Amino acid sequence: MKAHVKLTVAESKRLIAKGVAAMEIVKKALAEGMVSVAKGTTNGRVAEEILGKKIDRANYVTGNVTPSKGAREGTKVSASLPDIVLKKGEIVADLDSVVSVAEMKQGDVFIKGCNALNYNQKMGGILIGHNRGGTIGGTLGTIVARKIHLVLPVGLEKSVYADMNEISMKVREDDEYVGGAPSLFPVSGHIVTEIEALDTLAGVKALQVSAGGIAGAEGSVWLLIEGEKKQVEKALKIIEECRDLEEGALF
């Protein structure tokens, strides 16, 4: 059985968040170890799915991209909410995501959103504005050294065609930029897009067939999903839940 579905950016983020929360490595770390959820718009939803309750997502955002002109009212965000770090499923107070890796071990999970995705390479890219590398710059060495799982929730809307390492090198060239420019940090880990989320949640295979839209569907993706009848029906039910949860979402 097949189905053709459209997901807005917000709906995709919710679907991906559900997929991350359902990953076996995440469930195991929640039960036995540590899970750290770095700030971001997708990760705000990841935190909600893990905690089973709403959080103040507008204040769980660090860097963000808004229109140069004509940003919609109500899209003001901040990083004022404390980072969500869990040990055996319980929130650890006063421990931010960067510091948390010092207490993590092999099998624990660090969750970080991305700004770019090369799906064929299975690599993400993170824009860096902080002069010491930001969250990923302050954690990646420990993540790699201790074999911590790096989970990278990222929507297909952030797809780029070029080699991620080449992009990173290009934006780091010693040239003069009008207005400045962020660097791009290439990362590899457990990439979770809408495709992986649907596989984890319903066992269906998904293929992106197109993208874009208007009237709130800008950045949306069209997916062709395929599986057994019960699997496809389950996937459609989950997608409808995402639509209900994200109706009217501004980010």
Q: Which of 82-86, 178-182, 226-230 comes out lowest in average pLDDT?
A: 178-182
The whole-number pLDDT of residue 179 equals: 67
pLDDT of 17 strictly over 80? yes
76: helix, strand or coil: coil
**β-pair type (2-7, 221-226):** antiparallel
Q: Which of 51-55, 62-66, 94-98 comes out lowest in average pLDDT?
A: 62-66
**Structural contact between residues 83 and 38, judged by C-beta atoms closer than 8 angstroms:** yes
Count of residues for the chain? 251
The whole-number pLDDT of residue 69 equals: 85
Q: What is the pTM of this model?
A: 0.95
- Mean pLDDT to the nearest integer, 168-179: 82
Write the pLDDT tens digit of every residue in 176-221.
776 677 899 999 999 999 999 999 999 999 999 999 999 989 999 9
117: helix, strand or coil: strand
Average pLDDT, the chain: 94
The whole-number pLDDT of residue 127 equals: 94
The whole-number pLDDT of residue 73 equals: 76
pLDDT above 70: percentage of residues in the chain: 99
8 CB-near residues (< 8 Å, 6+ apart): 213, 216, 217, 219, 220, 246, 249
**Structural contact between residues 8 and 187, judged by C-beta atoms closer than 8 angstroms:** no
How far is residue 45 from each of residues 2, 70, 83, 132, 136, measured CA to CA in Å?
A: 28, 26, 13, 27, 19
162 phi, psi to nearest 5 deg: -85, 160
Q: What confidence category does residue 160 fall into, taking pLDDT thresholds of 50, 70 and 90? A: very high
**Structural contact between residues 206 and 223, judged by C-beta atoms closer than 8 angstroms:** yes
Question: Tokens at residue 22, please?
Answer: 């359902």
The whole-number pLDDT of residue 173 equals: 85
**Structural contact between residues 206 and 1, judged by C-beta atoms closer than 8 angstroms:** no
The whole-number pLDDT of residue 71 equals: 80
Just give the CATH number of 2-63+76-246: 3.40.50
